[in-house]
């Protein structure tokens, strides 16, 4: 598999560009950026004709017919799209309702916009969200079930809702349009189940304050299962009598984490059968945990108040690297992963209660963060390792140092409130807030720059303060001691010449408010790359440029770079970036510059089906004129735009030149396709864009539809089944794809607690549906159709199995042998069932594993027996048995009936040997060379004839490998460079393979 590579080259500019300029009275030393002022007005009017005339040059599409017309005022939907202007952030509203449509008051609604690598459920406990991965907004519905958000950015949107008495509701595939107001469809919540009972200790006494969380043991989020061992969704807290009531769960299996003060972490699980069910009288018994006792000692000065100790299980060796998880490694439970916490007393002593016996813990320090209820780890203090029950532990607190000062205007003595601050030992870093954003606003000009780590007698601290309109203040001699909070008093900034950048609309001459302006000294490319970031991204933390935004008059004031040759550029939403302006800044006066922003062109794409009806939710790929003709990827627009309910999608601020568009059925970034998939893509349709031009492209595309239903196994709903669709195009070829970890692939979904699944927005046609589950060895396959409107398709899985025994030629059982069933058609290479496992390291930082939940193979037990549960029925299967030191066995033509348990599929395997090959030399050096070698093993017959037995690969990343399951006898192993079998052999050696043994060989490619 490999990613799609777009093979169309960017075309050269095909039209003359011009625009009408409006003149302004400016000072004599004004520098200008933009086109000439004397361009004839007629050229602007000719742009529509130019765009329309390009229709003759379009490339016909394979599956989409396209026409190009000039935008007519009578086309109301298109005209509305062209006129529409989006605000900075949409105002999002919606309702949470019950099954009858009545609003649910007091529901908690969670929302997050944008994309994230792993889609962790939004309602998880806040500390389980890795810092910086995702920002979750939350609100509560009013009496009518209404909610609103005002801080969500346009693009992919996820919403979750929880309410007492209802099952949680998750929507992971919404799109937030870029318009002023957006009303989401009503989100209906189904009735939930109720669990009630008591939490008691080992003596049966009530435990107050126990937190009950829904364990994230494989939560379905989008198209991926996400497991956060030891983390969960808070549901309830036990009262003084130990009583609890959980009423926000869906019917089906449940698993709860019980986190009680002073008690060991425990887990409880069970199952409900129907919505509205109430399981009462539950008794959750927790065992008393062990303790870790110690004291925190300050290396310098005194301890701050409120330090928190976190104890996390740490089974690996101290300071030793953790290797990758083995295939057989199980997902750890909450008692092995969930952290325990304690607060220091005034004298630094602490007791961490509820730790697990026989477990080694890593203890770290944290302090309260600026966010309510949040904690921030003290990075300068190294983790300390201790076993449960250990006493007399000491943690050495290494406090931060800090600089405190106030910044004043040197002319007036008034505090400055907007500026940037950088400091550091050896290298300066910008001052950042809890969300890792550069701080730019300071009340009363007061600054506290903490988390500095100077050494006593070490280098001085570097400090720099930069404010627009003032000279940079630089200090390279700040003597700061460890644990010192040094008050520098008032720092005054001297006035500096300014760059007064006026940003104007090139078409109307009116000022542009909120435009971003950069002045730098490196290159045009450097300036443009920084402006390529989204329009709401500020650049205050970058110390090597001058940056500001324009006011309502279109004016930005930036500190000058006196005497230097500079490059200025501006951009704003709805405009093209200005042409870079080169100017030498005067040494002793302000410099006024004018930057004019062109609108570029606008293309509205309209997609209809064969009946002429608008098609909603179709993604459009856009290829713009490439900046670098040799870099085709630079021409691909990374924006993800889809048609709305009218079948329209608008592309604004397009640079003059030849643009190309096509309907796309590719999932979002992260989906990889096989080599043949590109052949199924529609051809690009080109359109020439000129400044001010407006045009419409008409596409005909298959309608979008869906599929929904229930997955059952043995008649019962099956939760957590992973379903994957492959479209069958002309000739019966499948559009196979594989999604990367965490990707929200629209072709993949997961059944919920009631076994339900749903697909939406897929092109209508014939598909192949694969259904996999962690308890099954093979994916079930069905032929289905995506239609509009969506039709139901229930999946009924039987539980057929194959059983047998594996022995050696001597009749002895062979344990640990891999046994696998495969389809004779070899069409079972689906995505399978996978999950993301997110754990925490010693310091609480996230560690991510991507694990296959259901493996196609089963291993034989101590008696050599195996069971393959959940195999395909009604078609011939091949069963294989393999192991490192046995010759593989194979049984063909086994056809199993529905719910049949086929027994007696036995194997007698001959003993084999192993060749272990090691590359000579330093593996680190080989890794640095990034070279790789092909390794081949040839079996040498009695007549001297050599037959290729196995092939493998070696390299700096893998300097040792094994060739397994080789029949005893004489072999020759040889390596050559790369994958060219005809390349000269670099090293070879003969070796005797003995049954049951590992023969070691060292080959030197040098």
Q: End-to-end alpha-carbon separation of the chain, Å?
A: 32
Per-residue tokens: 724: 């994957």
The SS3 assignment for 334 reads helix
DSSP 16-49: ------------TT-EEESS-TT--HHHHHHHHH
In this model, does residue 327 exceed pLDDT 60? no
d(CA 33, CA 949): 69
Model pLDDT, residue 85: 39
In eight-state DSSP terms, residue 864 is S
| CA angle at 700 for the pair 695 and 703, rounded to the nearest 5° | 130
Higher pLDDT, 15 or 966: 966
Q: What is the mean pLDDT of residues 274-281?
A: 93
What number of other Cβ atoms are within 10 A of residue 671's Cβ? 21
Model pLDDT, residue 745: 74
Least confident of 259-268, 462-471, 884-893, 923-932: 923-932
The residues that bridge with 601 in the sheet, in sequence order, are 654
Burial class (CB in 10 A: 0-12, 13-18, 19+), 679: exposed
Report CA torsion sign: 26, 29, 30, 36: positive
Q: What is the mean pLDDT of residues 843-850?
A: 75
Q: Length of the chain, please?
A: 1006
d(CA 355, CA 340): 7
Model pLDDT, residue 573: 86
Q: What are phi and psi of 792, to 5 degrees?
A: -80, 150
In this model, does residue 935 exceed pLDDT 50? yes
Q: Report the b/e string of 359-381 with b at 16+ CB within 10 A.
A: bbbbbbbbeeeeeeeebebbebb
Task: Tokens 């040197």: give the residue.
Answer: 410
Give the pairing of strands 446-452 and 401-409: antiparallel
In this model, does residue 735 exceed pLDDT 70? no
d(CA 903, CA 890): 16
Query: Which residues have C-beta within 8 Å of that of residue 708, sequence separation ≥ 6?
Result: 756, 757, 758, 759, 790, 792, 793
In this model, does residue 21 exceed pLDDT 60? no
Query: Are the CB atoms for 972 and 941 separated by under 8 Å?
Result: no
What number of other Cβ atoms are within 10 A of residue 50's Cβ? 21
The secondary structure element, H or E, covering residue 423 is: strand 420-425
d(CA 852, CA 960): 25
In this model, does residue 239 exceed pLDDT 50? yes
User: Of 877, 868, 866, which is closest to residue 817 (Cα–Cα)?
Assistant: 866
User: Of 702, 706, 604, which is closest to residue 646 (Cα–Cα)?
Assistant: 604
d(CA 456, CA 298): 15
Query: Which residues have C-beta within 8 Å of that of residue 553, sequence separation ≥ 6?
Result: 511
Higher pLDDT, 65 or 272: 272
CA R_g for the chain: 33
What number of other Cβ atoms are within 10 A of residue 57's Cβ? 13
Least confident of 328-332, 362-366, 988-992: 328-332
Model pLDDT, residue 642: 82
Q: For 776-788, what is each residue's pLDDT tens digit?
A: 999 898 999 999 8
Query: Are the CB atoms for 833 and 722 separated by under 8 Å?
Result: yes
Average pLDDT score over the chain: 81
In this model, does residue 736 exceed pLDDT 70? no
Instruction: Work out the pLDDT band at 221, boundaries 50, 70, 90.
Output: low
Least confident of 230-239, 602-611, 619-628, 846-855: 846-855
Per-residue tokens: 206: 């009530």
In eight-state DSSP terms, residue 929 is H
Q: For 453-462, what is each residue's pLDDT tens digit?
A: 888 888 899 9
In this model, does residue 909 exceed pLDDT 90? yes
In this model, does residue 43 exceed pLDDT 60? no
Per-residue tokens: 424: 């550091």
Model pLDDT, residue 236: 96
d(CA 754, CA 167): 11
Least confident of 34-43, 165-174, 286-295, 679-688: 34-43
Q: What is the mean pLDDT of residues 302-330?
A: 64
Report CA torsion sign: 307, 312, 315, 321: negative
Model pLDDT, residue 453: 85
Q: What is the mean pLDDT of residues 18-41?
A: 36
Least confident of 100-114, 172-186, 226-240: 172-186
d(CA 32, CA 121): 51
Per-residue tokens: 104: 């649910």
| CA angle at 278 for the pair 200 and 98, rounded to the nearest 5° | 125
d(CA 986, CA 1006): 7
Give the pairing of strands 360-368 and 308-313: antiparallel
Q: What is the mean pLDDT of residues 880-897?
A: 92
Model pLDDT, residue 733: 55
Q: What is the mean pLDDT of residues 898-908?
A: 94
Q: What is the mean pLDDT of residues 347-362?
A: 91
Model pLDDT, residue 644: 84
The SS3 assignment for 143 reads coil
d(CA 959, CA 366): 41
Report CA torsion sign: 804, 806, 810, 814: negative
Using omega within 30 degrees of 0 as the cis cutoff, is the peptide bond preceding 789 cis? yes
Per-residue tokens: 495: 């006035």
Q: What is the mean pLDDT of residues 864-883?
A: 93
Q: HSE (CB half, 13 Å, CA atoms) of 419?
A: 29
Model pLDDT, residue 217: 74
Query: Are the CB atoms for 639 and 656 separated by under 8 Å?
Result: no
Model pLDDT, residue 728: 86
Instruction: Work out the pLDDT band at 243, boundaries 50, 70, 90.
Output: very high
Q: Report the b/e string of 395-425 with b at 16+ CB within 10 A.
A: bebbbbbbbebbbbbeeeeeebeebbbbbbb
Model pLDDT, residue 357: 87
Higher pLDDT, 658 or 86: 658
In this model, does residue 8 exceed pLDDT 50? no
Least confident of 144-158, 354-368, 652-666, 817-831: 817-831
Beta-sheet strand order (sheet of 473-478): 429-430, 420-425, 461-466, 473-478
Instruction: Work out the pLDDT band at 911, boundaries 50, 70, 90.
Output: very high
- The pTM (predicted TM-score) of the whole model is 0.71
Beta-sheet strand order (sheet of 913-919): 960-966, 913-919, 998-1003
Q: For 546-589, what is each residue's pLDDT tens digit?
A: 999 999 999 999 999 999 999 999 999 889 999 999 999 998 89
d(CA 161, CA 278): 21
Q: What is the mean pLDDT of residues 954-968?
A: 86
Model pLDDT, residue 68: 34
Q: What is the largest CA-CA distance in the chain?
A: 101
Burial class (CB in 10 A: 0-12, 13-18, 19+), 201: middle
Query: Are the CB atoms for 343 and 350 separated by under 8 Å?
Result: yes
Q: What percent of the chain has pLDDT over 70?
A: 81
Q: What percent of the chain has pLDDT over 90?
A: 48
């Amino acid at each position: 598999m490999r990613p799609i590579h777009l093979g169309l080259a960017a075309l050269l500019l095909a039209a003359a560009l011009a625009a009408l300029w409006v003149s302004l009275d400016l000072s004599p030393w004004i520098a200008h950026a933009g086109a000439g002022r004397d361009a004839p007005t007629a050229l602007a009017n000719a742009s529509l004709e130019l765009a329309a005339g390009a229709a003759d040059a379009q490339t016909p599409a394979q599956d989409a017919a396209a026409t190009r017309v000039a935008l007519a005022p009578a086309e109301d939907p298109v005209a509305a799209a062209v006129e529409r202007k989006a605000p900075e952030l949409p105002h999002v509203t919606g309702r949470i309702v019950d099954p009858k449509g009545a609003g649910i008051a007091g529901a908690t609604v969670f929302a997050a916009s944008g994309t994230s690598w792993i889609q962790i459920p939004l309602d998880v406990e806040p500390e389980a969200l890795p810092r910086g991965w995702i920002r979750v907004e939350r609100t509560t519905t009013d009496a009518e079930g209404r909610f609103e958000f005002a801080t969500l950015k346009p693009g992919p949107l996820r919403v979750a809702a929880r309410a007492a008495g209802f099952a949680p509701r998750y929507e992971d595939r919404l799109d937030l349009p870029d318009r002023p107001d957006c009303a989401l469809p009503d989100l209906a919540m189904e009735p939930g189940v109720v669990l009630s009972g008591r939490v008691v200790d080992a003596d049966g006494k009530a435990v107050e304050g126990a937190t009950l969380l829904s364990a994230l043991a494989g939560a379905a989020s989008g198209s991926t299962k996400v497991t956060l061992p030891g983390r969960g969704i808070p549901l309830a807290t036990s009262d003084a009598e130990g009583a609890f009531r959980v009423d926000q769960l869906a019917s089906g299996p449940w698993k709860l984490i019980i986190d009680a003060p002073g008690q060991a972490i425990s887990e409880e699980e069970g199952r409900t059968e129907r919505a509205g069910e109430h399981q009462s009288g539950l008794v959750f018994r927790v065992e008393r945990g062990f303790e870790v006792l110690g004291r925190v000692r300050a290396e310098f000065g005194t301890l701050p108040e409120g330090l928190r100790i976190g104890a996390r299980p740490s089974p690996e060796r101290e300071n030793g690297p953790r290797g990758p998880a083995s295939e057989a490694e199980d997902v750890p439970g909450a008692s092995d992963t969930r952290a325990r916490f304690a607060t220091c007393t005034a004298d630094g002593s602490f007791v961490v209660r509820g730790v697990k016996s026989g477990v080694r813990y890593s203890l770290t320090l944290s302090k309260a963060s600026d966010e309510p209820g949040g904690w921030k780890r003290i990075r300068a203090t190294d983790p300390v390792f201790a076993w449960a029950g250990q006493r007399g532990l000491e943690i050495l607190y290494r406090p931060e140092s800090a600089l405190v000062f106030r910044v004043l205007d040197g002319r007036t003595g008034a505090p400055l409130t907007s500026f940037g601050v950088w400091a550091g030992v050896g290298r300066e870093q910008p001052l950042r807030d809890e969300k890792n954003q550069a701080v730019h606003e300071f009340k009363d000009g007061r600054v506290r720059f903490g988390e500095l780590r100077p050494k006593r007698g070490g280098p001085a601290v570097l400090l720099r303060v930069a404010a627009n309109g003032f000279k940079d203040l630089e200090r390279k001699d700040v003597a700061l001691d460890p644990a010192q909070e040094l008050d520098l008093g008032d720092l005054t900034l001297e006035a500096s010449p300014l760059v007064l950048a006026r940003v104007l609309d090139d078409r109307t001459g009116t000022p542009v408010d909120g435009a971003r302006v950069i002045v730098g000294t490196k290159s045009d490319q450097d300036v443009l790359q920084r402006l390529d970031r989204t329009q709401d991204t500020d650049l205050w933390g970058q110390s090597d440029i001058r940056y500001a935004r324009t006011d309502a008059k279109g004016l930005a004031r930036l500190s000058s770079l006196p005497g230097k040759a500079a490059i200025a550029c501006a951009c704003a939403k709805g405009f093209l970036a200005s042409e870079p302006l080169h100017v030498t800044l005067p040494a002793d006066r302000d410099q006024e510059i004018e930057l004019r922003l062109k609108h570029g062109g606008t293309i509205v794409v309209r997609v209809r089906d064969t009946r002429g009806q608008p098609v909603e939710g179709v993604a459009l790929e856009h290829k713009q004129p490439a900046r670098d003709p040799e870099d085709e990827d630079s021409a691909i627009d990374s924006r993800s735009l889809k048609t709305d309910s009218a079948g329209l999608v608008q592309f604004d601020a397009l640079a003059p030149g030849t643009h190309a568009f096509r309907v796309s059925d590719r999932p979002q970034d992260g989906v990889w396709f096989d080599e043949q998939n590109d052949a199924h893509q529609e051809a690009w349709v080109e359109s020439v864009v000129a400044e001010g031009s407006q045009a419409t492209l008409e596409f005909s595309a298959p309608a979008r539809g869906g599929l929904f239903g229930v997955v059952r196994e043995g008649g019962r709903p099956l939760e957590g089944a992973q379903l994957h669709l492959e479209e069958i195009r002309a000739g019966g070829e499948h559009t196979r794809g594989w999604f990367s970890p965490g990707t929200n692939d629209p072709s993949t979904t997961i059944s919920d607690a009631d076994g339900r699944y749903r697909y939406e927005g897929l092109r209508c046609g014939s598909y192949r549906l694969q259904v996999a589950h962690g308890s099954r060895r093979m994916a079930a396959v069905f032929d289905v159709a995506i239609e509009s409107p969506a039709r139901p398709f229930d999946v009924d899985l039987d539980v057929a199995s194959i059983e047998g025994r594996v022995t050696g030629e001597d009749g002895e059982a062979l344990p640990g042998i891999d046994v696998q069933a495969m389809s004779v058609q070899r069409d079972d290479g689906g995505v399978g069932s996978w999950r993301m496992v997110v754990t925490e390291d010693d310091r609480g930082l996230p560690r991510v594993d991507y694990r296959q939940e259901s493996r196609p193979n089963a291993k034989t037990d101590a008696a050599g027996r195996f069971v393959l549960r959940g195999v395909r029925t009604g078609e011939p299967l091949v069963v294989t048995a393999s192991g490192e030191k046995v010759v593989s066995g194979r049984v063909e033509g086994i056809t199993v009936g529905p719910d049949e348990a086929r027994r007696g599929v036995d194997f007698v395997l001959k003993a084999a040997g192993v060749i272990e090959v090691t590359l000579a030399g330093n593996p680190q050096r080989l890794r640095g060379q990034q070279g790789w070698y092909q390794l081949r093993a040839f079996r040498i017959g009695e007549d001297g004839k050599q037959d290729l037995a196995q092939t493998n690969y070696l390299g700096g990343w893998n300097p040792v490998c094994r060739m397994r399951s080789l029949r005893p006898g004489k072999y020759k192993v040889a390596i050559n460079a790369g994958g060219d079998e005809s390349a000269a052999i670099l090293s070879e050696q003969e070796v005797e393979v003995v049954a049951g043994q590992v023969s070691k060989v060292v080959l030197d490619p040098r």
